[in-house]
A and B are shown apart, each in its own frame.
Chain A
Amino acid sequence: DAGITQSPRYKITETGRQVTLMCHQTWSHSYMFWYRQDLGHGLRLIYYSAAADITDKGEVPDGYVVSRSKTENFPLTLESATRSQTSVYFCASTKTTGGIKNIQYFGAGTRLSVL
């Protein structure tokens, strides 16, 4: 059970470049999420998706674009990367486990550095 796969694991880019982070889940579950983790802030929600073709903004959406044409994929694009977007990015999807509905499980994360 691969669960949630993020790629790449590490990425270095330059300011102004477009970057796409990939997220793939094997559960065919509806909900998917993108978070960023920065020191002192915990995890903050960037975008989320309730189903294919349905997306909505989270707490910190500026500078990011998402799409979800297929249930299993939820890519996150930085259209013009800035240094403030240097962070660790986590993708998550929900799964019902042990009778608890929709627990969020996370991918391994992508560490992005914008120079």
Chain B
Amino acid sequence: AQKITQTQPGMFVQEKEAVTLDCTYDTSDPSYGLFWYKQPSSGEMIFLIYQGSYDQQNATEGRYSLNFQKARKSANLVISASQLGDSAMYFCAIRTNFGNEKLTFGTGTRLTIIP
């Protein structure tokens, strides 16, 4: 079985600073994908970024990047130049067993950006 651990229940960051949200994972499957989702206070789940286990480079998507350290089994989300609109819950998720496409989620980190 796979598992995601997000050890930071909450974080407070000054606006315009960079922020790193931690995510560690556990799986015995050599092929897997890691996802980050954002959930603002309005409640919807928004896909942010994806990293495949065989991808040679760390994923980037605008101000989001993924610090993927395979040997440490970590996939931290980095948000550069944080904005007030980044205040939200952030969930890390893993997908293994390609063919059923199931995601296993962590418990999330609540990020608050301070003006």
Contacts and interface: CB of A to CB of B under 8 A. Distances in A.
A42 B107 contact: yes
Interface in B18-71: 35, 37, 43-45, 47, 50
Contacts of B105: 35, 42-44
The DSSP consensus for interface residues of chain A is strand
A105 B47 contact: yes
Interface of A: 31, 33, 35, 40-45, 48, 50, 56, 58, 88, 90, 92, 94, 97, 100, 102-106, 108-109
By Cβ-Cβ distance, the 9 closest A-B pairs, closest first, are: A106-B45, A42-B105, A43-B105, A42-B107, A31-B101, A102-B101, A100-B50, A109-B43, A42-B108
Interface of B: 4, 35, 37, 43-45, 47, 50, 91, 93, 100-108
